[in-house]
Amino acid sequence: MSTVSTTRSRKKTGAKQNVTPSFMHWRFLVVLVVITSVFGVLAARAAFIQVIEPDELIQQGDSRTLRTRNMPTYRGIITDRNGVELAVSVPVRAIYADPKVIHENNGFDEVRRWDALADVLRQDVIELKEKVANPKRRFVYLQRQVSPAMAEYVDKLDIPGIYLRRESRRYYPTGEVSAQLIGITDVDDTGVEGLEHMFDEWLTGTPGSRKIRRDAKGRQVEILETKAGEKAGNLQLAIDQRIQALAYKEIKEAMIYYQSSSASAMVVDVKTGDVLAMVNAPSFNPNDRSDIAPHRMRNRVITDAFEPGSALKPLAVLTALEFGEVEPNDTIDTSPGWMRLGGSLVKDSRNYGELSLEEIIQHSSNMGTSKLGLSVPKNFLLDTYYNLGLMSDTGLNMSGESSGIFHERSRWSKFELATLSFGYGISVTTAQLARLYATIANGGIKMPLNMVKSPEQPAWQGQAERVISEENAKAIVQMMESVTQRGGTATKAAVPGYRVAGKTGTSRKAVAGGYGEEYVNIFAGIAPVSDPRLVTVVLINEPGGDLYHAGDTAAPVFSSIMGGALHILNITPDDKQVTFSRFLKGGESGS
Per residue in 219-268, pLDDT tens?
A: 666 666 676 667 889 999 999 999 999 999 999 999 999 999 999 999 99
- Give the strand pairing for 78-79 and 85-97: antiparallel
H or E element, residue 246: helix 241-257
Q: Which of 477, 525, 264, 487 is nearest to 364 (CA)?
A: 487
Q: Which of 357, 358, 311, 346 is nearest to 539 (CA)?
A: 311
Which amino acid would we find at residue 313? Answer: K
**Residue 25 forms part of a structural domain:** no
Give the CATH number, domain containing residue 149: 3.90.1310.10
**Residue 105 forms part of a structural domain:** yes
Q: Please give the span between the terminal C-alpha atoms of the chain, in angstroms, as a whole number.
A: 180
Do 100 and 173 lie in a common domain?
yes
**Residue 10 forms part of a structural domain:** no
The Cα diameter of the chain in Å comes to: 187
What pLDDT was estimated at residue 212? 64
CA–CA distance, 93 with 349 (Å, rounded to integer): 65
Do 269 and 349 lie in a common domain?
yes
The more confident residue out of 6 and 454 is: 454
What pLDDT was estimated at residue 391? 86
Q: At what angle do helices 554-568 and 241-257 cross, to 10 degrees?
A: 160
CA–CA distance, 261 with 306 (Å, rounded to integer): 14
**Residue 322 forms part of a structural domain:** yes
- Over the range 241-261, which residues count as b (16 or more CB within 10 Å of their CB) and which as e? bbbbbbbbbbbbebbeebebe
Which amino acid would we find at residue 282? Answer: P
Do 307 and 185 lie in a common domain?
no
Average confidence (pLDDT) over 527-536? 96
Do 276 and 174 lie in a common domain?
no
**591: how many CB neighbours lie within 10 A of its CB?**
5
Average confidence (pLDDT) over 473-486? 95
Confidence at 72, pLDDT banded by 50, 70, 90: low
Do 385 and 493 lie in a common domain?
yes
Confidence at 8, pLDDT banded by 50, 70, 90: low
Per residue in 306-321, pLDDT tens?
A: 999 999 999 999 999 9
Residue 286 phi, psi (nearest 5): -70, -15
The pLDDT of residue 286 is above 50: yes
The pLDDT of residue 61 is above 80: no
CA–CA distance, 66 with 59 (Å, rounded to integer): 10
Strand partners, 210: 69, 226
Per residue in 120-141, pLDDT tens?
A: 999 999 999 899 999 889 899 9
Do 177 and 246 lie in a common domain?
no
Residue 2 phi, psi (nearest 5): -65, -35
Lowest mean pLDDT among 26-40, 291-305, 462-476: 26-40
**Residue 182 forms part of a structural domain:** yes
H or E element, residue 61: helix 55-65
**Residue 318 forms part of a structural domain:** yes
Which amino acid would we find at residue 280? Answer: N
The more confident residue out of 58 and 366 is: 366
Residues sharing a CB contact under 8 Å with residue 422, sequence separation 6 or more, in sequence order: 309, 310, 312, 313, 316, 366, 369, 370
Do 163 and 199 lie in a common domain?
yes
What pLDDT was estimated at residue 71? 60
φ/ψ bin of 555: left (φ > 0), alpha (ψ from -120 to 50), beta (otherwise): alpha
Do 316 and 200 lie in a common domain?
no
Residue 300 phi, psi (nearest 5): -65, -25
Do 271 and 397 lie in a common domain?
yes
Lowest mean pLDDT among 110-119, 372-381, 402-411, 459-468: 459-468
**Residue 165 forms part of a structural domain:** yes
CA–CA distance, 499 with 529 (Å, rounded to integer): 5
Query: 19-33, 57-71, 123-137, 359-373: which has the highest mean pLDDT?
Result: 359-373
Residues sharing a CB contact under 8 Å with residue 250, sequence separation 6 or more, in sequence order: 265, 557, 560, 561, 564
**Residue 166 forms part of a structural domain:** yes
Please check whether residue 155 is in contact with residue 144, taking contact to mean a CB–CB distance below 8 angstroms. no
Per residue in 492-517, pLDDT tens?
A: 999 999 999 999 999 988 777 778 88
Confidence at 44, pLDDT banded by 50, 70, 90: confident
Per residue in 210-222, pLDDT tens?
A: 666 666 655 666 6
Please check whether residue 435 is in contact with residue 270, taking contact to mean a CB–CB distance below 8 angstroms. no
Confidence at 1, pLDDT banded by 50, 70, 90: very low
Q: Which residues are catalytic?
A: 310
> What domain range is 257 assigned to?
241-583
Average confidence (pLDDT) over 175-192? 92
Tell me what percent of the residues of the chain surpass a pLDDT of 90: 59
Confidence at 524, pLDDT banded by 50, 70, 90: very high
Q: Is 166 helix (H, G, I), strand (E, B) or coil?
A: strand
Do 252 and 224 lie in a common domain?
no
Confidence at 23, pLDDT banded by 50, 70, 90: low
Mean pLDDT of all residues in the chain?
A: 86
Domain count of the chain? 2
Which amino acid would we find at residue 527? Answer: A
* Three-class SS of 311-367: HHHHHHHHHHHHHCCCCCCCEEECCCCEEEECCEEEECCCCCCEEEHHHHHHCCCHH
What pLDDT was estimated at residue 516? 80
Do 485 and 532 lie in a common domain?
yes
- Give the strand pairing for 534-541 and 501-511: unpaired
Give the CATH number, domain containing residue 341: 3.40.710.10
Do 103 and 185 lie in a common domain?
yes
